[in-house]
Amino acid sequence: RDFNERCAQCSEVNWGITDGGRFYCRSCHNVTERTREVVNADFMTNSRIQTISKGLRKQEKNDGGSEWYVCEGFQLVLKKQVEALEALGVCPQMKDEILCNFWRCYLQKSKQAYCKRPAGEAVKALSACESSTDVDSDPERPSLLHLLSLSESEGDLQTDCSFVSSVSKVSESTSVYSGSVDGSLYLMKNQKEKLRMTMPMTLSFCYMALLWVREPITLSELLRFVVEGHIPYLNVFQHFPEKMKLCGLDLKIFCVESWPAYEEVFNKMHELAAFLDLPRFPDITESCFLHPDMLCMKYLMEANLPDELHNWTCRVVKKIGIGEVDFLTLMPGNKSTRKVKYDVLAAAVIVVVLKLLFLLDDHYEWLLSELAEERNKNNTEGCPYFEFKKWYEVVKHSLDVKQKKLDEERAKYLWRCEKPLFYSVKNKPKVLKRRQMVVNLQNQFGKLSGSVQRAEKPNPSSFQLSWSEENTDGSCFHGHSLKGVLQEKCGLLTAMNPDYWLCTVKLCNEKLCGHLGHYREVEFPQSYHFVLGLFSFLLRVQPSYIHDEVCMIEHKLFNKKLCKKLKYNAVLRK
């Protein structure tokens, strides 16, 4: 009653006292740094006794754990992931200045924090008990969120009143089914309208922050680092504090048993950007790593293709305008612009250039390869001519070795985490006993078989396939010449190949069909399928994704000829 200052958050004068003696606002639950000096010792003693006894009851009910909320669990996951990205070399500002602000905006938009009164019928029903809560039971939620905040230097995370007012009722109704307070409420249908948080969405948050700061990490690289274990994702809940008990419905939220899918993370990132009402992202210019010219250079090196192909990729990018700032820069909520997959787009440009020069029809590229082989026999000086056949054999051998190794690692991967999980408190003793038996048996069989412990995971690298020009076996094709497939015409180098085959004559409706062009391996040449498979392995995406971008580039590149052909066919039909 003696503290009459207005709340800095909501300007109300309605103060209560936390367990630690600090003032908090009853309206918005903002906790201040001011503490109350109590003169009456009897009042202080009685207050502490009530608080201690209440806390012991809650700890016994939750099996020694503290009350925690699902959003706090995702907050910890994001914190672990961004710290792993910082260890990989990402700028430190991404954590506190970018990702933390995105997360706070999401909590506010989804009515989970930073708001005065949340929406929803279930929450309104629970908030009816707000007036009956005592002084000591209200302020426990802010202190826990402050402990787990993304930015350790920031202040308390102000949460909505429904969480605090519904602690007693929700915890009693959900503690049997989940370790978190709102585990069952989080899986209700009405939560889907608010873009409910999921584990793949944590990677969408990370990719959105990476895109905002224009870091040289594509989405395919981000997901590959997750699979390789450099970024926490699978079984990340093992890093939760001991007081955050995880069981029951919490496992459906935080326990994942599949690798993150490119398309899901990509689409959720765009939904998030629109949901948060973010402004136009920083421009993707020619000097940015995500520009097609830069990414094409990287993928040409990784695919062991001649350096001279980069001039052709730049010509294609400039010709069809996919290197323009407005095309590449993300504008959230703008449905008229196409969503750009930077890595897939760059790979598709390389595929189109290979089709322009080598046709990739299972005949012309082998004919050019025989001619280049004959010229290399008589060529003792200068750069060797590029042989498509030799390149195919070298790359296919390395690709098969890498693919086999990847398949073996995925087959041997242990999906079960070291930390035992249980769906109810009653089953906990059985699960712990069974887990201990499994560990003992594994140790005994390991000693008998003399199995070697797992080697430490290698350092992350942007290149999966590496080629060195210092090798004397001729396995590196970076410095090879394209003179055997080019001719000079009007002062410009053009392809000797006058023909070109389109992947599809008419594009499908991407919104209705989901693809611009349908890809079936039996309907396309094996050379084209091999090139798609190579970049599919490098990007860890389906070949159909690259095929769609190839179809889009071809129709931009041959738009005038296609229009003339369609008009001519229409006249013939009449």
The model's pLDDT over 377-424, given as tens digits with 9 standing for 90+, comes to 887 777 899 999 999 999 999 999 999 999 988 887 777 666 666 655
Count the residues in the chain.
Answer: 574
pLDDT digits (tens, 9 = 90+) for 142-171: 333 333 344 433 333 444 433 333 433 444
For residue 77, how far is the Cα from the chain centroid? 13
Which residues are within 8 A (CB) of 396 and not within 5 positions of it... i.e. 6 or more apart? 530
Q: Which two tokens stand for residue 337?
A: 């612009």
pLDDT at 296: 97
Give me the pLDDT at residue 35, please: 64
Q: In whole angstroms, how far apart are CA 542 and each of 535, 536, 539, 562?
A: 9, 6, 9, 28
CB-side neighbour CA atoms (13 Å) of 417? 18
pLDDT of residue 127: 35
The tokens of 143 are what? Answer: 């202190």
Closest CA relative to residue 137, chosen from 13, 37, 16: 16
Distance from C-alpha of 424 to C-alpha of 428, rounded to nearest angstrom: 7
Question: What is the pLDDT, as a whole number, of residue 473?
Answer: 66
Query: For 155, phi and psi rounded to 5 degrees?
Result: -85, -165
- Chain-centre distance for alpha carbon 423: 28
In contact, 3 and 16? CB cutoff 8 Å: no
Name the pTM for this structure.
0.77
What residues in the chain have per-residue pLDDT under 50?
38-62, 118-176, 568, 570-572, 574
In terms of Cα–Cα distance, which of 220, 338, 203, 325 is closest to 272?
203
Q: Under a CB-based contact definition with an 8 Å cutoff, are residues 25 and 7 in contact?
A: yes
Question: How many contiguous H segments (helices) and E segments (strands) does the chain have?
Answer: 24, 5
Q: Compute the distance between CA of residue 507 and CA of residue 551 in angstroms, rounded to an integer.
A: 7
Give the dihedral sign, CA 354/359/364/366: positive
Residue 547: the pLDDT is 93
DSSP-derived letter for residue 95 is I
Residue 355 is predicted with a pLDDT of 95
Enter the tokens of residue 189.
């249908």
Distant-in-sequence, close-in-space partners of 178: CB < 8 Å, separation ≥ 6: 184, 247, 248, 249, 250
Nearest to 349 by CA among 319, 317, 324: 317
pLDDT tens sequence across 120-135: 334 333 433 333 333 3
Q: In whole angstroms, how large is the CA radius of gyration of the chain?
A: 30
Residue 535's pLDDT is 97
Whole-number pLDDT of residue 560: 67
Distances (CA, A) of 494 to 346, 356, 549: 21, 10, 24
Q: Is the dihedral of CA 392, 393, 397, 400 positive or negative?
A: positive
Q: How far apart are CA 428 and CA 475, in angstroms?
A: 57
Q: Where are the alpha helices (DSSP H) in 276-329?
A: 292-302, 309-320, 325-328
Predicted confidence at residue 112, as pLDDT, reads 84
Closest CA to 550 of 341, 257, 277: 341
Look up tokens 């905002």; give the residue: 212
The pLDDT value given to residue 531: 97
